[in-house]
């Protein structure tokens, strides 16, 4: 019987995206400042739904609908996403 290959490397996502800070609190604060959002309100709304996004139960657009675009904004969804993606 042939032995199974041994595992030599294990990658874990601990609190963010590997090798980046992901969409962490400091980056969300920077986004709020950049786009003129209330950082406390954005953080509260983020905390209510982000776990579902991380689990794959919400798309990025669905997350943004809840956290940012629940009302009319003077900037586009694309501009906000571009900012997000540029952070990591």
pLDDT the model gives residue 57: 93
* Mean pLDDT, range 18-39, rounded to an integer: 89
pLDDT the model gives residue 11: 63
* Mean pLDDT, range 13-23, rounded to an integer: 64
pLDDT at 14 over 80: no
pTM value? 0.76
Q: What is the CATH number of domain 28-86?
A: 1.10.150.240
Q: What is the pLDDT of residues 51-66, one digit of tens each?
A: 999 888 999 999 999 9
Secondary structure (H, E, C), the chain: CCCCCCCCCCCCCCCCCCCCCCCCHHHHHHHHHHHCCCHHHHHHHHHHHHHHHHCCCCCHHHHHHHHCCCCCCCCCHHHHHHHHHHCC
pLDDT the model gives residue 19: 63
For the chain, percent of residues with pLDDT exceeding 70: 86
């Amino acid at each position: 019987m042939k032995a199974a290959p041994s595992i030599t490397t294990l990658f874990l996502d601990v609190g963010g995206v590997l090798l980046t800070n992901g969409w962490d609190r400091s980056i969300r604060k920077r986004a709020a400042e950049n786009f003129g959002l209330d950082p406390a309100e954005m953080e509260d709304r983020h905390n209510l739904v982000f776990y579902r996004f991380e689990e794959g139960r919400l798309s990025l657009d669905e997350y943004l609908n809840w956290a940012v675009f629940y009302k009319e904004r003077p900037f586009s969804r694309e501009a906000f996403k571009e900012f997000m993606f540029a952070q990591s």
